[in-house]
Amino acid sequence: MKSHKSYAIALLIAVSFTLITNGQTWAEENTQTIKKELRAVKTEQPPTIDGVLDDTCWQDAPQATGFTDERTEKPAKNQTVAQIVYTDTAIYVAVHLYDDMPDKIVARQTKDQTRIRGEDSVSFSLDPFHTHQFSDRNFFIVNPLGTKYAHLATGRAEKSEWIGLWKTAAKIVDDGWVVEMEIPWQMLDYPDTKEPIQMGINVDRLQQRTGEKSWWCNLGVNEFRENDGHWIDVLPPPRKRELKVLPYLIGGISETETNEREYTARAGADLRYEVTPQLRLISTANPDFENIEQAVEGIDFSYGERYVPDRRPFFSEGSNVYRLGQLFHSRRIMDMDGGLKLFGKIGKNTSVGTLGTYHRNNQNVILQASQSLTATSNISAAFLSHHQREEGFNNVGYLSGDVRHGKLLARSAIAQSQAGESNGRDGFANLIYQGQLVQPYVSVFFVDSDFVNRLGYHPFTGYRGLSLGSYFRNEWRDGFLRSLSLSVQSEASNTYEGEVFRRNLSIASGILTHSDYSLSVRWYGGQFEEFTDSLFAIRLGARASDRFNNVNISYTWGEQAGERIHRISGNFNLRAYDFTVGLTSQIQWHFERRYQQILTLTYDFSSALSLGSRLIWQADGVNIYFALRRSGYAGTDFFIILGDPNALEFRQRLVAKVIRAF
């Protein structure tokens, strides 16, 4: 038994060593010479951000032309022209997106800093350090209504003043639509230099009507970022360090279990300080997690713990730096009186991230460092420590690496835990071929029985095995079919005692039509420990790409965990006259009948001010809350909440919260 375990560990260490020692050579051999460049032009007359490209600065600015369909690798049917100029204050981007059917341009989203999906959009990306790593990449996305979404390199929370106050304007014109952007340098991380440098840039566009995604420099469907274009001879201004404070005040009244009134008042604050132009300190004191609407755990049957994402802003800040996967699940940190984060760059290719939280009963520390070896390879190391008063210390060390040579991607990681007398390991090694149409993979993995990580998401321990699979996807720009996908996945794993842990085979397929109907089917079968499973599922959808007006329904049936199972679920969303309604419903007949209905209602007085409600009706009880909120834009945010967003049953509770950035 130990020989197999030692062999697996040796294999993972060997793969990691190969990645680290050979990654740079492999990637440099594969890196393509990019010929698309855009000369940096500094202007003394910045444009007026009005969606009209008649400003003097645009007349002589170089143009980014020749956009390519990422799927067909042919010139895009509807071309795009982009231009960039800059001052010591901001970067200015102008984009003319030609469209031969401007009356069919799709634009729906009106709230800034909300993901723009299923509609026409354009994205300007900037890689100031020119590393070609996703973690150093900034995205600025705009739709034809001028609604904007920024994804900054390190990951930022949602308060506009913390993200940065950037401007956009967009107009639909006779031959397509036009966008202008103003992006302040101050919201970006970039090298501190006195000499002109080269930055990575790109522009991509989605045309919703045809499904065509086109790039200035084509990254392909897998987005190989080393193929970005170059912005040459740009001289960014000196970076000013900033100190921002985000205090909040809460006052409220609630009814206790003994029917007594309880008055509450509390205050707290977040602080953001730039230690260096590339290194940021975030701290929070007495954070308010109670009034943040968390994701709801589903009721679908699972042999292990279900994964539920975390929506708390403190943990999303700097999320691109803390890339730990299942090793860190922030919902494990339930209570904290204060927290501290320090993250950013200490060199062009070196990123660090630290996180610490304090509560009288538990303390947590995370230290991480990542090193980019080349545009297609990097290594990362981390240390996690959790201290619980009753349980003592739990420490985990982690090392990972990945490298891509052409379309072949290799990844590996290994973790070592220590908790009292337990000293277990967890690790994997993957090999993936990232083809244009087909992506096969193979993975080996193991988790020791005595591997303990109280900060991670590890539903099971004490098993090891192999998984194989492949994924196929293709798209068509016209005709009946818009896209077709097919996946086959399998796993064979045993316990350390040699007994069957899991034998799985999953076959799934899905289609999307140009009339926006979707159909997906899936069969899942195999064995989990002593149980034999066989499940069929079918799902139908209409207006599949429209996030505001859509409907879908699915039905699952078969046998799972030794019992017959039937599950009906569906989603319905509708927006009309500033009202948005969403209904998610699920009923499951298995060991017992379970049900869950989630109804959300929102009325938008404006893009910033809205009245919302969420009703959750399930076997555990019925909960409803109402919230009047002004958020997502510069200035004072406020929330007036009736009820408790995350309770199992309705609470008689009224809370007012005010947030102001300084």
> Is the separation of the CB atoms in 372 and 131 below 8 Å?
yes
Report the pLDDT averaged over residues 620-649: 91
Angle, CA 433 vertex, CA 429 and CA 435 arms, to 5°: 160
Which band of pLDDT confidence, cut at 50, 70 and 90, is reported for residue 321? confident
119-123, 246-250, 507-511 — which is least confidently predicted? 246-250
Report the pLDDT averaged over residues 58-84: 96
Which band of pLDDT confidence, cut at 50, 70 and 90, is reported for residue 314? confident
Average pLDDT value for the chain: 91
What b-and-e string marks burial along 602-620, b requiring 16 or more CB atoms within 10 Å of the CB? bebeeebebebebbbebee
pLDDT tens per residue, range 281-292: 999 999 998 898
> Is the separation of the CB atoms in 593 and 599 below 8 Å?
no
Q: How far apart are CA 51 and CA 143, in angstroms?
A: 12
CA 235 to chain centre: 31
Residue 163 has pLDDT above 90, yes or no: no
Which band of pLDDT confidence, cut at 50, 70 and 90, is reported for residue 389? confident
> Is the separation of the CB atoms in 389 and 397 below 8 Å?
no
Q: How far apart are CA 165 and CA 634, in angstroms?
A: 8
Residue 609 has pLDDT above 70, yes or no: yes
pLDDT tens per residue, range 226-281: 999 999 999 999 988 888 898 999 999 998 877 888 998 999 999 989 898 888 89
Residue 20 has pLDDT above 80, yes or no: no
Which band of pLDDT confidence, cut at 50, 70 and 90, is reported for residue 662? confident
% of the chain residues with pLDDT over 70: 94
User: Which pLDDT score, from 0 to 100, does residue 25 have?
Assistant: 38
User: Which pLDDT score, from 0 to 100, does residue 157 have?
Assistant: 58
User: Which pLDDT score, from 0 to 100, does residue 156 have?
Assistant: 63
> Is the separation of the CB atoms in 533 and 527 below 8 Å?
yes
E strand or H helix that includes residue 638: strand 637-642
pLDDT tens per residue, range 406-457: 999 999 999 999 998 889 999 999 999 999 999 999 999 999 999 999 999 9
Residue 1 has pLDDT above 50, yes or no: no
User: Which pLDDT score, from 0 to 100, does residue 284 have?
Assistant: 93
Which band of pLDDT confidence, cut at 50, 70 and 90, is reported for residue 561? very high
Residue 154 has pLDDT above 80, yes or no: no
CA-nearest of 138, 116, 115, 118 to 126 is: 138
Which band of pLDDT confidence, cut at 50, 70 and 90, is reported for residue 582? very high
Three-state DSSP at 131 gives coil
pLDDT tens per residue, range 522-540: 999 999 999 999 999 999 9
For the CA atoms of the chain, what is the radius of gyration? 26
Report the pLDDT averaged over residues 210-223: 96
CA-nearest of 513, 461, 506 to 483 is: 513
Report the pLDDT averaged over residues 12-33: 40
> Is the separation of the CB atoms in 171 and 264 below 8 Å?
no
User: Which pLDDT score, from 0 to 100, does residue 608 have?
Assistant: 87
Which band of pLDDT confidence, cut at 50, 70 and 90, is reported for residue 15? very low
Report the pLDDT averaged over residues 123-130: 96
> Of residues 324 and 34, which shows the higher confidence score?
324
Which band of pLDDT confidence, cut at 50, 70 and 90, is reported for residue 14? very low
Q: How far apart are CA 192 and CA 389, in angstroms?
A: 44
